[in-house]
Amino acid sequence: MSSRPFFGCPNCGHINRPTASRCAMCGTSLRQPFARPINPSVFQCPQCHYQNRPGDKHCTQCGYELGLSANIGSLSSPLDDHFAKIVRPLHVFLCHCSEDKLEVSKLHARLSEHNIKPWLDAIDLLPGQKWQEEIPIAVRNSDVVLACLSPKAINKSGYVQKEIAFALDIAQEKPEGLIFLIPVKLEECTIPNRLARLQWVNLFEAQGFERLMLALVATAKSLGIAI
């Protein structure tokens, strides 16, 4: 085993080579202060960076779902030949307005049938949590953001517009060509100008969900996730 420390990506948790400057999985810089070297007998939480025991399903410190199936501590061959494989779901944030909650909840249920972990405030926010703080964290920790659009959503001012703006900012940090933000039309409506350059999907059409899944599969494949 190499004596040099290897790095757990602070964004996706991928285990990288000792000499890597960027994460091979998602492109995040490993030279930032929070990209710490980790002990091969533990797994670093990608959300709070707490070092958990191999096999832990949730972070002991913050409760984040680790989704590990490989025992990192059992590696016995050279790091260059064998990497710990992280098996986790594709994390998808559902950006929506409250008036569309029913339709978005149906989408949440359909996505959950695959190896996808959709994030919806009504389901994933815990009692007592500050949603103004938790939602930006959930957006940043997501692999894909679905901007769920309807006439009500695009004509409503408020936090849904902030979520879209924040997701657009995060998209600028992603590797070129990675599908991160997808406009999803729940019903016929005009795409907002700031999303118009992105190809959208009409979820209300017969093959709408299948087309959405094609995009999610493409992102998952680029991240080494099977869905």
pLDDT per residue over 52-66, tens digit each?
Answer: 666 677 777 677 777
Instruction: Establish how many alpha carbons lie within 13 A of residue 145's alpha carbon, considering only the half-sphere containing its beta carbon.
Output: 26
Instruction: For domain 90-222, say whether CATH 3.40.50.10140 is its number.
Output: yes
**Per-residue confidence (pLDDT) for residue 188, from 0 to 100:** 96
Check pLDDT > 50 for residue 222. yes
Domain ranges in the chain are 1-88, 90-222
Strand ranges for 53-212 from DSSP E: 90-95, 116-119, 144-149, 181-185, 201-202
CA-nearest of 18, 14, 20, 21 to 6 is: 18
Q: Which amino acid is at 20?
A: A
Q: Which amino acid is at 136?
A: P
Check pLDDT > 90 for residue 92. yes
**Per-residue confidence (pLDDT) for residue 50, from 0 to 100:** 65
pLDDT per residue over 123-180, tens digit each?
Answer: 999 899 888 889 889 999 999 999 999 999 988 877 678 888 999 999 998 888 899 9
The CA–CA distances, whole Å, from 75 to 38, 110, 165, 168 equal 14, 36, 42, 39
pTM reported for the whole predicted model:
0.62
